[in-house]
Amino acid sequence: MRRKNLKGSLAVFPGSFDPITNGHLDIVDRGLGVFDRVRMTILMNPEKQPLFSVEERVAIIRETFRGDPRVEVDTFTGLLVDYAEKVGASVIIRGIRAISDFEYEFQMALMNRRLNPQIETVFMMPAESYSYVSSRLVKEVFQLGGRVSDLVPPVVEKRLSEKCGTPLKPGRARRKK
Ligand code: PNS
């Protein structure tokens, strides 16, 4: 079995991150438990119509992890494995929330392995409380007037409010059990 020295290790965590959610933050945190540095890298995809531009997403991630040099942010085009090789990362991190994520992730991981067997995909599971959280649902809920403050970092909520012209909802007091 090939063994990798994890000292000084860099893992890339690719995605659309439109926008990042607390589920993504949870995965970054878990990634830092295993690797020295995690680089969130945003796919520049001209075919997608994102809510936040790539520049805005980079700025959001920078602000969220400001002060933590272990978390980096970047963008990429083309093949992910080529990007990973170029930046010296031998690991790709992907989060799996539920079995429904698995088929697509499994296909991508095997395709990436075929393209470059030196790069390993590592799946990480976020905390159960984030298993239903996705960027798509966060945007939908916010745009329809729902509260997302427990689901995204504060900077995302602020940016959503600016982008959609909707005032922030005051936090609801938790019901006593
Ligand atoms: O957050 P997402 O949208 O699920 O992220 C998907 C992403 C960016 C990881 C995936 O689309 C990707 O890696 N695209 C780069 C193109 C590529 O390398 N394709 C071949 C591997 S299947």
Q: Write out the H or E segment, with its range, that includes residue 76.
A: strand 71-76
Q: How remote is the CA of residue 175 from the centroid of ligand 1, in Å?
A: 40
* Nearest residue by C-alpha to atom 22 in ligand 1: 108
- Edge-to-edge strand list for the sheet holding 91-95: 71-76, 37-43, 10-15, 91-95, 120-124
Write out the catalytic residue numbers: 24, 48, 97, 135
* Cα 95 to Cα 13: distance, rounded to the nearest angstrom: 9
- Name which residue leads in pLDDT, 144 or 8: 144
Cβ neighbours of residue 36 closer than 8 Å, sequence gap 6 or more:
6, 7, 8, 9, 10, 70
pLDDT at 177: 38
pLDDT tens, residue by residue, 103-115: 999 999 999 999 9
Does residue 175 register a pLDDT over 60?
Answer: no
Best mutation site among 12, 13, 16 for ligand 1, i.e. most ligand atoms within 8 A of its Cβ?
A: 16
Q: If you average pLDDT over every residue of the chain, what do you get? A: 92
pLDDT tens, residue by residue, 132-174: 999 999 999 999 999 999 999 999 999 999 998 877 766 654 4
- Whole-prediction pTM: 0.93
* Cα 135 to Cα 59: distance, rounded to the nearest angstrom: 16
pLDDT at 134: 96
Residue 46 pLDDT grade (very low, low, confident, very high; cuts 50, 70, 90): confident
Q: How remote is the CA of residue 19 from the centroid of ligand 1, in Å?
A: 16
Share of the chain above pLDDT 90, in %: 84
Cis peptide before 154 (omega within 30 of 0): no
Share of the chain above pLDDT 70, in %: 92
pLDDT at 1: 52
Cβ neighbours of residue 63 closer than 8 Å, sequence gap 6 or more:
155
* Cα 48 to Cα 122: distance, rounded to the nearest angstrom: 26
Give me the amino acid identity at 125. M
pLDDT at 166: 79
Residues near ligand 1 with C-beta < 6 Å?
A: 14-16, 43, 79-80, 108, 111-112
